[in-house]
Amino acid sequence: MLIINEKRGNYMLRELWKLPFNPIYFFLKHFCVYTMTFTFASSIAFWHSYPFVFLISPFIFYPEHDFWFLALVCNIFWCMYVSSIAQEWSDLKVQKMRDVRIGLAGMLISVWVIIGSIFTKDSLHYWKISYTLYQIAMFSMPAFMAFFSSKYKKYFLQIDFDKYPYHKMIKFISIIGTIHVSFAAYFIQWSIAYLLILILTVTSFFFSVDLYTVMTAKSYMFREHYHYDWESQEILYHEEIVQTPDGKQTTIQWSML
C-alpha cells in the first residue's frame, strides 16, 4: 500500500515537471514500489511497450472490422484476470529465480510471436495461424509478466553485480544489440507498422539482456521491498552458485541480518 508522507510528497512535487514528458515513468516511480519496477530494465520496457501494443495492434490486425473493439475488451479483462490470479497465487513471500527466468523467456517469445504475426497476417496460407498466435501472445505477455514480477512478494530478487563479470555482459550487449538493430532496420523497411515493430524490437532487446543476466548470474540477493531508491532496506539473505572440487555446481546461502 502506498503511503505518502511529507518527505515522499516533497520529492514527488520536485519531480512533477517530468510528468508531461513521460507520464508512465512518473507513475511507475512515484505510485509503484521502486524495487518492483526498477530492479530489472525489462519491467520498465514492459510498461512502456505493452500498453502501446495493447492499444494499437488491434487496429493493425482488424482495420476494417469492428472486431478490434472486442479484441481490446478481451485484452483488458484478461489483464485484470491475470492480476487477480497472480495475487491469489502469491503465497510465497520470496521471489524465485526460476519464476524470473520463466517470465522473461515467456515475454521474449511472446514479443517475437507478435512480430511474426504482423508479417504473416496478410498471408493467404498462414493468416489464420497468424491471428491465432497474435491473440495467444497478447494474452501470454501479462501472464508471463506476473511470473516475472515481484509485485505480490514481500522480498524481491536482486542480482549481485559486484560479483558479475562485466566483460561478458558488455560482449553480449554488443552482439545482441547489433542483431536487434539489424532486425529493426529490416523490419521497418518491409512493414507498414514500423512504429509498433520498432517498439517491440527495443523491448526484445531489454528482455534478452535481462534474461542473459539471470541465466548467467552466480550470485544474487533477496531484499525487502522499498518505495524509493533512497529508502533501501537491509538484505534478507544472499545466495551464490559455486563449483565444488568435483566439478559440480551447488548453491550456498547465508543470512545478512
Contacts 24+ apart (CB under 8 A), 244-247: none
Q: Are 169 and 214 in contact (CB under 8 A)?
A: no
What are the boundaries of each domain within the chain?
A: 1-31, 40-153+162-215
Give the percent of the chain with pLDDT over 90: 13
Among residues 39, 43, 49, the alpha carbon closest in space to that of 145 is found at 43
Q: pLDDT tens digits for 174-183?
A: 999 899 888 8
Q: What is the model's pLDDT at position 35? A: 74
Cell numbers given for 217: 548470474
One-letter amino acid for residue 142 of the chain:
P
107-142 per-position pLDDT tens digit: 999 999 999 888 888 877 888 888 889 888 888 888
Residue 43's alpha-carbon distances to 28, 160, 184, 190, in angstroms, are 10, 18, 21, 29
Determine the 3-state secondary structure of 89 from DSSP: coil
Predicted structure pTM score: 0.82
Residues 187 and 25 sit within 8 Å (Cβ to Cβ):
no
